[in-house]
Amino acid sequence: MEKRVLILASVASMIGQFNRDNISLLQEMGYKVDVACNFKNGSTFSEESAKQLKKELIEQGVRCFHVDFSRSPVQIGKHVQCYRTVKRLMLENQYLFCHCHSPIGGAIARIAGHATKTKIIYTAHGFHFFKGASVLNWAIYYPIELLLSYWTNCLITINKEDYYRAKYKFHVKKTVYIPGVGIDSNRFLNLGISREQKRQELGLSKEDIFVLSVGELNKNKNHEVVVRALAGLKGQNIVYMIAGEGNQREHLKTLAEENGVSLRLLGFREDICPLLEAADVFAFPSKREGLSVSVMEAMFMKKPVIASKIRGNIDLIKDGENGLLVYPNTVDAWEQGMNKMINTIGTYHLGEKKRLKSLEKKNINEKMMQIYKG
């Protein structure tokens, strides 16, 4: 009998960024894999990237199904239509299980799974309710997740706050903590370019202090607080670069110009490791995260990290040891933190082996294999 499983997410980027290893792992275990997501809209991938992902998955032997998921919770009619599509897929293919992701895609998959008696594994990439979240977020998302927990066979959480809340408040049959998708440490070897060469390529002098951030240019990623903080540190040759695209590009450029901050927006980049090699400090000011791959990459590259004191980041950064934690919306605290970080770079204990080993992709994949074995 054919062993077929479904990987489902609202958008293609969730498949491309967080599930390529899961798909390969399942195939190695002898499963036939189907993927269902929105390959056209609502993704942080460009349309071309989504098409390329679908092409690569098909070449890998994966069947791909486009489902017109919306990331807006108010488009009820569209959600009902997607539910019918997912339910039909489950009935037609009799999946041994469905591994689903993202709040709306995960909700629809779990409702369809309950209706079709399909086993459900759900990865929560950071609940929308957390310490410090708005009352509205708690009012909308918490009751939904509480209800859907009855229809979830295994819940994977990627940070400790979500894990303890789910374990003691929800009704999932099994709750597991796995720190993200893991990091392949081999990526940080043989970069093909030295720190000096990369800095030269970026037009940096030896005196320049290079602060790097990675993430979408949007309100949640909160790059604005770093720009405002750096406005108070003039005269230190600080160059701030952000790798990422988003709707705040023009706003950040204008803000930097008004405050005399040297800001360079690098757009989407595939050379994050060489950029980290060239950087002096990694800044991660997000207001909300599940568990940041960018922070983990900076840790593996042994860069001091200044990050917002939020869920997920506090699992990775030990304040005063391998970085600094600062409340996300306090410009004065960021200014003081940035100043301290820049002037005491050599005092941080970077690349602590035990912590990095727990984040290795090999260890994460072993844990995922045990979950898939059931």
> Helices 331-343 and 223-230, interaxial angle, to 10°?
70
Please state, in angstroms and rounded to a whole number, the distance separating the CA atoms of residues 163 and 291: 12
The partner residues of 34 in beta bridges, in order of sequence, read 6, 63
What's the DSSP call for residue 130? -
Which residues fall within 8 angstroms of residue 235, CB to CB, at 6 or more apart?
Answer: none
Give the residue from 228, 243, 252, 329 showing the smallest Cα distance to 286: 329
pLDDT at 324: 94
Per-residue pLDDT averaged across 281-305, rounded? 93
Flag whether pLDDT at 132 surpasses 90: no
- Cα separation, 311 vs 284, in Å, equals 13
Q: At residue 353, does pLDDT exceed 70? A: no
Does pLDDT of 220 surpass 90? yes
What's the confidence (pLDDT) of residue 370? Answer: 96
Q: Does domain 185-357 have CATH number 3.30.70.1230?
A: no
Confidence bin at 1 (pLDDT 50/70/90):
low
Determine the pLDDT at residue 350: 67
Q: What is the pLDDT of residues 30-75, one digit of tens each?
A: 999 999 999 987 677 878 888 999 999 999 999 999 999 988 888 9
Low-confidence winner among 74-78, 169-173, 248-252 (lowest mean pLDDT): 74-78
Structure tokens at 118: 């399909």
Tokens read off for 280: 């002096």
Distance CA 319, CA 338 (A): 13
Residue boundaries of the structural domains of the chain: 4-183+359-373, 185-357
pLDDT of residue 28: 97
Per the rule left: phi > 0, alpha: psi between -120 and 50, beta: everything else, 69 is beta
Residue 141 sits at the vertex; the CA angle it makes with 139 and 146, to the nearest 5 degrees, is 100
Query: Are 332 and 351 within 8 A, CB to CB?
Result: no
Tell me yes or no: is domain 4-183+359-373 CATH 3.40.50.300: no
Q: How confident is the model at residue 185 (pLDDT cuts 50, 70, 90)?
A: confident
Domain 4-183+359-373 matches domain 185-357 at the CATH topology level: yes
Contacts of 107 (CB under 8 A, 6+ apart): 144, 148
CA dihedral over 82, 88, 93, 99, signed as positive or negative: positive
**What residues pair up with 122 in beta bridges, in sequence order?**
100, 155
Q: What is the pTM of this model?
A: 0.87
CA distance linking residue 205 with residue 159, whole number of Å: 38
Tokens for 115, please give them: 């209706």
* Alpha helix positions (H), the chain: 12-18, 20-28, 47-59, 76-93, 103-116, 135-148, 160-169, 195-201, 223-230, 249-259, 272-278, 293-300, 313-316, 331-343, 353-358, 361-373
